[in-house]
Amino acid sequence: MMSLRHYCFLYIAVSSLIFCGVAVARERIHFLIPGGAGGGWDMTARAVGESLTRSSIIKTASYENLSGAGGGRAIAYLIDTAPRQTNTLMVNSASFILRSLLKKIPHNYNDLTPIASVIADYGAFVVRIDSPYVDWQDVIDDYRKDFRRVNIAGGSSRGSTDHVVAALAFSKSGLDVSRLKYIPYNAGGQAMVGLLSGESQILSTGLSEAVTLAKQGEVRILAITASERLSLFPDVPTLHEQNVDAVFANWRGFFAPPGIALDDINEYRSLLEDLVKVEGWQRLRAARGWSSLHLSGTDFKQFLAMQEVALSELLDDLGLLEK
């Protein structure tokens, strides 16, 4: 016959098991990636998952690449299957807002549960090593003389992040962006070939990719869209310091399904807050050329709303928004 002490011990043990079963966010996370392997979303989700497990914040992480419709397929899947996605976080970025505004996808970030952003990949403008452009003012002057001489290359379609970041820089420089000639390539590598061949004069890309290209010695970074120089890249000038108030962060962050419990939301936000403090994550982030951008809860939602307004205005200036 069990003593009272044994009953109490059994109760505590069972209660602990039940609690562990509820706190699934700490036990396991399934990362839904709305693009293919090797892309920015994929790299971010896997880097976060690996850092969470290595630091014992969670026990296991799994990954699912569900590409299609520029991320729209994964978003629709997460919404449609929300009741059974109790352990799932989807990674996304500024392109979520862009594609929603352009009506490329039928959903926006309010249809999901925003959890937190973790990194930013600032926009960068790259020129050939022998380019006559020494600083951004040279670009402005040349565009004013003859806008047809300035072609911008990007590794994605019109209305994409590469295109919109270029439009932002030219707009904040006091230039007519309706005349901006953007040449879309199927990938960043092809856009780089276009730059080196002289088909374009400037490449619009993410800073992490720009740094990799610059290390090869054939190009240099003219400016980035951070508000101030980054400690990781102290020699790279910003547009802001060149009197162009163009600041843009291509954030990457995580969303949970709609309708999840508040306790689960807080659990996810807490573990990502723990993640950004981990030294191993900080080293990995720096090695990838990513800047820290941890915004959680209301801060993240407000940031998304502000970026949506700014991007809507830019797309309208470019004539890309449906009336």
* Fold: same for 24-118+250-317 and 122-242: yes
For the chain, what are the domain ranges?
Answer: 24-118+250-317, 122-242
For residue 50, how far is the Cα from the chain centroid?
Answer: 18
CATH architecture of 122-242: 3-Layer(aba) Sandwich (3.40)
CATH class of 24-118+250-317: alpha beta
Residue 25, pLDDT score: 42
Determine the Cα–Cα distance for residues 191 and 185; give it in Å rounded to an integer: 5
pLDDT digits (tens, 9 = 90+) for 7-63: 333 333 333 333 333 334 468 999 999 988 878 899 899 999 999 999 999 999 999
Are the beta carbons of 117 and 252 closer than 8 angstroms?
Answer: yes
Task: State the chain's mean pLDDT as an integer.
Answer: 88
Q: Side chain identity at 68, as an amino acid letter?
A: G
Residue 244, pLDDT score: 95
Residue 26, pLDDT score: 60
Six token digits for residue 98? 């862009």
Residue 287, pLDDT score: 85
Residue 3, pLDDT score: 45
pLDDT digits (tens, 9 = 90+) for 288-306: 889 899 999 999 999 999 9
Are the beta carbons of 58 and 29 closer than 8 angstroms?
Answer: yes
Q: What is the pLDDT along the chain (323 residues), one digit of tens a residue?
A: 444 344 333 333 333 333 333 334 468 999 999 988 878 899 899 999 999 999 999 999 999 999 888 889 999 999 999 999 989 999 999 999 999 999 999 999 999 999 999 999 999 999 999 999 999 999 999 999 999 999 999 888 888 889 999 999 999 999 999 899 999 988 788 888 899 999 999 999 988 888 888 888 999 999 999 999 988 889 999 999 999 999 998 999 999 999 999 999 999 999 999 999 999 999 999 888 898 999 999 999 999 999 999 899 888 888 888 86
pTM, entire model:
0.82
- Find the Cα–Cα–Cα–Cα dihedral 92, 95, 98, 104, rounded to 10°: -90
